Amino acid sequence: MNKYHYEASMGFIDILRPNIEKLRERKDIPGLIRALESPDEEIRDGAAAALLDCMPDALSPLVSVAVGGGEKRRAAANAVLASIGEPAVLPLIGYLEGDDPEVSGFAAVALASVGEPAVSSLVSLFGTIDEEKSERVVETLAAIGPAAIPGLKGGLFSLPYRSRRFVALTLDRLNAGAADETEDAARRIALGQWKELDSVRNAAVLLLIDLLDEEYYVPRVNAVRALGHLGDERAVPHLKDALSDTNPNVRAAAAEALGHFGDEELLPVLLSACEDEDRFVRESAAKALDRIGWHPSDDDERVMYFIATRQWKKAAEIGEAAVLPLIGMLRDTDNGVVKGLTDALRSLERYSVGPLEEALNDPDIRVRNAAGEILVSLGQTDLVYRPLIPKSDGGLPEEKRGP
C-alpha cells in the first residue's frame, strides 16, 4: 500500500471513529452508549467516563440498556452502573420486581455488578416479593459475594420471620460462618431447625421468646413448641401468656409445652385452659395435666377433665354438677364436640332443662342456638318459642272480654 492509500484509509477510519469529546460536549448519551461497544479500549473507557460526567441524565438510559439491550451493550452498561453505585440501585430494583422474568433476570445481573451499594436494598426486598423473586434476590446477593454478608447478617434480626429463611439460605450459599452463638441460633431458627437448638440453648431461648411477638401465627406455634422442648425456666412466664393468644393453635402448643416443665405451680393455668372454647386447647391442657401427674380433687374438676378429653358418658355420670360446664362448652364450633355435649345433656334431662332455658339468653349465639335445639329435641318446644308468642291484654281473647 503506498503512502497515499495508507493515509486515505486512516482518514476513513478516523471519520468512523467516535469523537468522545464532541459527544460529551453535546451530551449525546445514545452516542456515548453506542461507543461502549467500540473494539477500541480507549474509546470504551472514554465513553464510560463521559457517561459518568453526564449523570444524572445518563442514568435512566443506562438502566434501560442494562435490562434490555444486546449482550455486549448490557455488559458495558453494567460496568458503568457499577461505577455509578447507589443511585443505580432503585431503578434496577424496580425492574427486578417486575413481572417479566427476562428483564428481572437482567436487572439482577446489573445489581450484582453494582455490588455492595445494592445489598441493603436487596435484603429489604425479602418479605415484600413472592418466593420466586426472593430466590432471584438470593442468587443476586450470592453473586455479590462477601460484601453482602454484613447486610445479610443484620437481616437475620431485623426482618420479619418469613424473610429470614432467605437470608439464612444466602449466608449458607456464601459459606459464611456464624460469628457467635446468637447468630448461630438465629440462623437455625430462620431455617426451622427447631430440634437442633440444644447446643445454642442460651441464645435460642431469648430469640424464641422474641418470636412470640410475630404477627403470623405459625412462627409463634413453632417458637412455643421449641421452648417446651428446651425446657428453660425463663420461658415459663411467656408460655403462660401464650395460653391467652388469639390463635387456638398457639394456645394448644403452649398448654402442651407447659406440660414439659412438670411444675405443680402451673396447675391453675392448665386447669383454666381445660375450659378453653377450642377442643384442641382443652385436649392439650388435659395431656399436660397427665404429664405432670395431676388427679381431679372434686366433681367440678372431674367434669372439666372429662369434657376436655371428650369422655361424655363419664361426664354425664357425675350428674347435676356436669350440666353447667357442659352447657358452657356449647360455644365450641366442632360438630363432633357439640354432638357429644348434646347427648350428655339429653341424658341429664331432669337436671338440664332449667339451665338450658336460661342458656337461651346467653350472650353467645352458638350457646343459644344449641340450647334451643336440645330443648326442642327433649319436647320442651314451649320453652323455646314461648317468648315469641305475643301476649294479649288480660290474658283472654278479645271476644271473651267483659264490657
Give pTM, 2 decimals: 0.75
Helix (H) / strand (E) containing 300: helix 299-308
Cell of 44: 470504551
Residue-level length of the chain? 403
Q: What integer pLDDT is reported at residue 134 of this predicted model? A: 85
Sign for the CA dihedral angle at 231, 237, 238, 243 comes to positive
C-alpha separations of 60 from 29, 96, 292 in Å: 10, 15, 68
CB 340 within 8 A of CB 322: no
Q: What average pLDDT does the chain have? A: 89
DSSP 216: S
How far apart (Å, rounded) are the C-alpha atoms in residues 227 and 305? 25
pLDDT digits (tens, 9 = 90+) for 58-78: 999 999 999 997 898 999 999
Exposure class string for 381-394: b at 16+ Cβ within 10 A, else e: eebbeeeeeeeeee
Please state whether the peptide bond connecting residue 56 to the residue before it is cis, i.e. omega within 30 degrees of 0. Answer: yes
Judge whether residue 402 has pLDDT over 60.
no
In angstroms, the CA 1 to CA 8 distance is 11
Q: What is the CA radius of gyration of the chain?
A: 36
Confidence grade of residue 393 (pLDDT, cut at 50, 70, 90) = low
Q: Using alpha carbons, select from 125, 138, 210 the residue that is nearest to residue 172.
A: 138
The predicted-structure confidence for 353-391, as pLDDT tens digits, reads as follows: 999 999 999 999 999 999 999 999 999 999 888 765 554
**What's the 3-state SS for 70-133?**
CHHHHHHHHHHHHHHCHHHHHHHHHHHCCCCHHHHHHHHHHHHHHCHHHHHHHHHHCCCCCHHH
DSSP string spanning 144-156? HGGGGHHHHHHHH
Domains and CATH numbers, the chain: 7-114 (1.25.40)
pLDDT in tens, 207-259: 999 999 999 999 999 999 999 999 999 999 999 999 999 999 999 999 999 99
Task: Spell out the residues 6+ positions from residue 350 whose beta carbon is closer than 8 angstroms to its own.
Answer: none
DSSP conformation class of 159: S
